[in-house]
Structure 1
């Protein structure tokens, strides 16, 4: 083979090598949904017994706390509990300072815009509590009175939805927690408070003869567990664990421990 032939063969071989080395650039994969985390931080109001509160040893305990611990155990997750300003709960959640809201969180249409909820696990009412010696017997008698509520709670929304009652109330006084509101009720600085039934009846049971619950209330509502809207993987795991606990009786056992009976919504 002469020099020209050798040169041509070399060039052809190089061209073939280059051609064989080329490949189509891989297409970018569609972004995957966020995976469920290995640990979660639960945000709560630690003055909300019996759902979540501090006991005599300053440890956070409660019905929702026990539910969350059992769910985390079943999912193989670590769970920690972070007290937050309940009126800023959505900012805490969407700012990723917590992963879950689990503390008597009422499901509302307004909250659904920013929070992904489980199905309801507990039914609640917004009850009206007065002192035992109060002359108030009915909701209409709140007209011209000072009524206390927890700031950022669903009690505020429940009262505002009842336009007639809301307009008749002299002042709707907001507190950081229900404990302080009850103290002001006892000392006469309030005429009544509107509070979640599970919380109100828990306190009333501790001080028999001091408070009274009116027959009328500000409506029925459901509690759910909330995550960020895009945390669908975490929500799916939470929902399945909750469903399993309802089915196998674990949720009923936890409920009986705190309320004396099974009040879990199936």
Structure 2
């Protein structure tokens, strides 16, 4: 009987052992935790100083006064913007015909001097929203028989080298082809001086510059009704300087909104020319 009882107890023992193995099976692993969110990269810091490239013989946008100090509408606009951005502004006269090379070689950080926004320039320059509208006007002497673009046929016409005046003339292919010569100059003032001495028959120039100059010598020059088109001025930066460009756009917008840009405009033009 004892042997029989022992044999009957064996399956129960085996069952207990089997149940024990089941209880000791590896516990289910918890689901992996979600990765911690990646912190956004901080916005690029603005530079402590920017070098503003300009043509220092481009009144009233930027030029030297009788004390040889840089003054002008764009100078005042740039100084106010830099002050609001808490950035030091250094003004550096450059060869305006090489402005894109000066900018992209990092010899200057900003182009701010009546810079016309064009699709061709957008390939190499980042532009703010336009802050001013301009025309390419035609100036002749007061006694000139020239009354319109058609009368420029066979004439010697001057413009600043590398300027949007040259671009505007070349877009009007028929008129440009009728010139005897298109003569370019390092700056507009030299071109206007040659007009006054008779070495040129007409000068094509930014309206803001031309009318400022003509107003000072109204008895010698006049502006034709015809022009070579309308354009917008903007501030130019390198394409990869997106933080600076964004801040300039924001600051110029604020200057327009609170009337500061208008005040600067009226000081230089006697009217609000802000776009």
Q: TM-score range by the shorter chain?
A: 0.7 to 0.9
Deviation at 1:194, TM superposition (A): 0.1
Once residues 245 and 42 of structure 2 are traced to their aligned partners in structure 1, the CA distance between those partners, rounded to angstroms, is: 16
Partner of 2:265: 255
Match of 1:114 among 111, 124, 137: 124
The answer (yes or no) to whether the contact 1:256–1:262 under 8 Å persists in 2 is yes
Deviation at 1:209, TM superposition (A): 1.1
Once residues 240 and 45 of structure 1 are traced to their aligned partners in structure 2, the CA distance between those partners, rounded to angstroms, is: 25
Deviation at 1:152, TM superposition (A): 0.5
> Aligned-pair RMSD on alpha carbons?
1.4
Partner of 1:158: 168
The answer (yes or no) to whether the contact 1:148–1:194 under 8 Å persists in 2 is yes
Alignment of 1:215-226 (within 5 A): 215-226=225-236
Once residues 178 and 78 of structure 1 are traced to their aligned partners in structure 2, the CA distance between those partners, rounded to angstroms, is: 29
**Does residue 111 of structure 2 align to residue 101 of structure 1?**
yes
The answer (yes or no) to whether the contact 1:44–1:102 under 8 Å persists in 2 is yes
Deviation at 1:53, TM superposition (A): 0.4
Partner of 1:235: 245
**Does residue 214 of structure 2 align to residue 204 of structure 1?**
yes
Structure 1: runs of 5 or more not aligned: 1-28
Deviation at 1:261, TM superposition (A): 1.1
Match of 1:174 among 140, 163, 184: 184
Structure 2: runs of 5 or more not aligned: 1-38
Once residues 180 and 143 of structure 1 are traced to their aligned partners in structure 2, the CA distance between those partners, rounded to angstroms, is: 23
Alignment of 1:50-199 (within 5 A): 50-199=60-209
Once residues 31 and 254 of structure 1 are traced to their aligned partners in structure 2, the CA distance between those partners, rounded to angstroms, is: 37
Partner of 1:23: none
* Matched positions, count: 237
Deviation at 1:35, TM superposition (A): 3.1
SS in 1 for 2:114: coil
TM-score by length of 2: 0.84
TM-score by length of 1: 0.87
Deviation at 1:31, TM superposition (A): 9.0
Identify if the C-alpha distance between structure 1 residues 34 and 96 changes in structure 2 by more than 3 Å, giving closer, same or farther. farther
Once residues 98 and 41 of structure 2 are traced to their aligned partners in structure 1, the CA distance between those partners, rounded to angstroms, is: 30
Once residues 125 and 43 of structure 2 are traced to their aligned partners in structure 1, the CA distance between those partners, rounded to angstroms, is: 17
Identify if the C-alpha distance between structure 1 residues 49 and 242 changes in structure 2 by more than 3 Å, giving closer, same or farther. same
1:63-89 deviations in Å (ceiling 9; x for gaps):
000000000100111001000000000
Identify if the C-alpha distance between structure 1 residues 137 and 35 changes in structure 2 by more than 3 Å, giving closer, same or farther. same
